[in-house]
Structure 1
Amino acid sequence: METLTRPKLREGLEVIRGMDDHPLLYDASSGIYHRLSRSAAGLVQRLDGSRSLDDIAGLMAARGTKTPEAARTELDRFVKNLYDSGLLDGSPTPQRARDAGRRGRRNQMMPRFVVSRTLLPRLLEPLAAVLRKMPGGALAGGHIAGGVVGTVLAVWALLAGPSADPKLAHWTTLLALVLFLGQIVLHEAAHAMVAQFLKVPVRGFGFALLFYFMPLAYVDRTDAYRLRSRASRVVLALAGPVNDGWVAGLTALVATTADGTVATVAATMLVFQLLSVITNLNPLLPSDGYAALEAGMGTVDARGRAFGLLKHTLLHRPLPSHLAALTPAARRLHLAYGALCTLYVLVLAYVAVVGTVFSYGSVQGMWGR
């Protein structure tokens, strides 16, 4: 096959330096980033269609410690991976790249639907330009400190403050839920604001269905891979939960100082808000907490590798090269993480089913009376 005899990268591919100064191969047609080793980054520059695989293997052997045969074996594996990923001229485009630009797509068990790709960057840039004149570390530190204090206040208010008035619960719960949906929008806007400040604007915003049934707002922060600093990526990932802490703190103040309907709505909102903080920081879900942990450790798609390794192990299938390259210790760690995530999702599903059955039985009992 000529594609694999004299390989040539597709048009629209760019080698850049991103996270932790690692080289990345950016595919402009799909918006996907492919992480490269430092040796692979130099190798892809030679894939211009003018050299045969034997020529390239000879150069690899001359500049390294491998024999020509070992260099050719490694090169064949690398070129085959590029071909399977749709990155070479003449290679078929993989399904995930074809789906990347569609309005609805799957990502970690979440179909996503884009509302707008340009509105948030246009709205946020004027404020971001002003904030960039201030010390970034001080802004991040103040924001995080306020979010932590707000969360502590919310816990205190929920435990020590007045409880919701059951006489008003039939409609105040609905009102609290509507207000909480507005907070979710603010959560995503916080992510978008930090991304705009760091000059990696979000690609769009919309809504997603976590596990195909739980509605969530989201912003596309894919270009965060361009950020070299781990600290910047962690701050970007935590911007939403930290903002939730600020809003929860304000809600706590209302719940403890107001009375009547306002206090009841605020007390109900505190429950939603604290559950949201716990969920968003849970590393067993595709959450902001998981994204922050991944950014802080410098890893990429740990969940994807864990589930892929778990699937191939259970089905006794040969491992793809990127999983086969894991050390035995890393393989055991990924398997344990994948098993924990799977068990957690099963427990959530069980609780959701039991809760639904219980609610249905309660409604039936009420109607029966």
Structure 2
Amino acid sequence: MMTVTPAPRLREELELITGMDDLPLIYDPATGVYHRVSRSGQAILQKLDGQHTPEDLVELVRAKDPAQREAFRHQLDRFLEHLTSSGLIEGSELPKAGERQGRFRTSRLMPRVVVSRSLPKILEPVARLLRAAPIGLLGCLVALISVSGFLTGGWALFTQGGTWVTLELGPVFTATALQLLIILFHETAHALVAQILRVPVRGLGFAMLFWFMPVAYVDRTDAYRLRDRKPRVAIAMAGITSDGVFCGLVGLAAFYTSGFWQDTLLLLLTFQLIGLLINLNPLLPSDGYSALEAATGAVDFRGRSFAYLKSVFGKKPVPGHLERLTWQKRSAYILYAAVSTAYVVLIAALLTQGVNTAVQDIIARTS
């Protein structure tokens, strides 16, 4: 068992804030990590000043029932052990101190490398101008343009290209280079919205999702400071919105070009629409999934949903944290699982149809 200081005291440099959904958070500047705390835990934090022992804290509860006092002491011990293991108590060991400053970071599913930390400085002049604009109206207008852009791009791809997309090296290399540029704008859009909301991103980099799928990302961890859900949804959806604008521009250009450039643009549209499907994937840590969590205020929505369904359809005991669900949350978990299943079926059908069509076209062109 972790040893707890007799009269525990929080480290002086820690910041206690009220963040997302008005939840209390502890921010550790040494590691750059936010620690979520319950509201009952928040009251205890105020007493962790090096003057109160755990016994003193139990006395403050003033519970007359010995069983209640014992239950509170057990919860208190677990809470203090968690704070100590997280390096938040004076004298405890910091977990990987200074990790925030390193360029290379690894996690169980996604190793990352930070390429640049200069985006906030670069974007601040633009963000300053946009803060003076009617940002809500501007956001709705850009979202409408983005949706129209995806529709335009899809229409151009299926009317100008049909089922065939060129695999010639020239268009492939050009479309790939343009797609990488669009991905950069995608991540910059996340960073710009975060900058407007005064929660600048920590860095721009690349990661290997599941250790094999390369993805670009911006570290928008400080969005936890935003108490309202709408700004966090806006940050999560900014990249997809940027993609939609570019998809519309590329689609319009595809209508008025031919030959090499039309082949290139149609291939680029294919990349963009595949990117949209990936970014809306409800089973991966995608922008769409991040927006879902931000909009609902849920933590680990995916894990909770499938844990609940396993207990319902697998006739297993419901986990403790899911025992007292409202009917709205139960319905949301079931709906999420249904949408996830439909998504998997849709992707499988599209892949099957695409491979089949490509094989038939290749056979027809070579015969």
TM-score relative to the length of structure 2: 0.81
Alignment-derived partner of residue 79 in structure 1: 80
Alignment-derived partner of residue 116 in structure 1: 116
User: How far apart are 1:9 and its partner, in Å?
Assistant: 1.3
| Counterpart amino acid of residue 277 in structure 1 | L
Give the aligned CA root-mean-square deviation in angstroms: 3.8
Alignment-derived partner of residue 129 in structure 1: 128
Q: In structure 1, how many angstroms separate the alpha carbons of the residues matched to 2:7 and 2:151?
A: 61
User: How far apart are 1:106 and its partner, in Å?
Assistant: 2.5
Counterparts in 2 of 1:102 and 1:168: CA distance versus 1, 3 Å: closer
Any stretches of 5+ residues in structure 2 without a counterpart? 310-318, 359-367
Alignment-derived partner of residue 206 in structure 1: 205
Alignment-derived partner of residue 24 in structure 1: 25
Indicate conservation of the 8 Å contact 1:210/1:216, yes or no: yes
Which deviates more, 67-76 or 257-266? 67-76
Listed as ranges, the matches of 1:206-225 within 5 Å are: 206-225=205-224
Indicate conservation of the 8 Å contact 2:3/2:81, yes or no: no
Q: In structure 2, how many angstroms separate the alpha carbons of the residues matched to 1:20 and 1:78?
A: 22
Q: In structure 1, how many angstroms separate the alpha carbons of the residues matched to 2:64 and 2:187?
A: 48
Any stretches of 5+ residues in structure 1 without a counterpart? 311-322, 360-369
Which deviates more, 208-217 or 156-165? 156-165
2:93 is equivalent to residue 59 of structure 1: no
User: How far apart are 1:272 and its partner, in Å?
Assistant: 0.3
Q: 2:4 aligns to what SS in structure 1?
A: helix
Q: 2:251 aligns to what SS in structure 1?
A: helix
Q: In structure 2, how many angstroms separate the alpha carbons of the residues matched to 1:23 and 1:145?
A: 35
Q: Percent identity?
A: 47
Alignment-derived partner of residue 244 in structure 1: 243
Q: 2:82 aligns to what SS in structure 1?
A: helix
Indicate conservation of the 8 Å contact 1:164/1:263, yes or no: no
Aligned residue among 317, 323, 326 for 1:327: 323
The count of aligned residue pairs is 342
Q: In structure 1, how many angstroms separate the alpha carbons of the residues matched to 2:107 and 2:49?
A: 32
Q: 2:161 aligns to what SS in structure 1?
A: coil
Q: In structure 2, how many angstroms separate the alpha carbons of the residues matched to 1:24 and 1:308?
A: 26
2:196 is equivalent to residue 197 of structure 1: yes
Alignment-derived partner of residue 40 in structure 1: 41
Indicate conservation of the 8 Å contact 2:174/2:264, yes or no: yes
Listed as ranges, the matches of 1:136-285 within 5 Å are: 136-163=135-162, 169-285=168-284
User: How far apart are 1:252 and its partner, in Å?
Assistant: 0.5
Indicate conservation of the 8 Å contact 2:17/2:26, yes or no: yes
Q: 1:3 aligns to what SS in structure 2?
A: coil
Q: In structure 2, how many angstroms separate the alpha carbons of the residues matched to 1:192 and 1:63?
A: 53
User: How far apart are 1:335 and its partner, in Å?
Assistant: 12
Counterparts in 2 of 1:335 and 1:25: CA distance versus 1, 3 Å: farther
TM-score relative to the length of structure 1: 0.80
Listed as ranges, the matches of 1:96-115 within 5 Å are: 99-107=99-107, 109-115=109-115
| Counterpart amino acid of residue 123 in structure 2 | L
Which deviates more, 329-338 or 102-111? 329-338
Q: In structure 1, how many angstroms separate the alpha carbons of the residues matched to 2:45 and 2:303?
A: 25
Q: In structure 2, how many angstroms separate the alpha carbons of the residues matched to 1:164 and 1:264?
A: 12
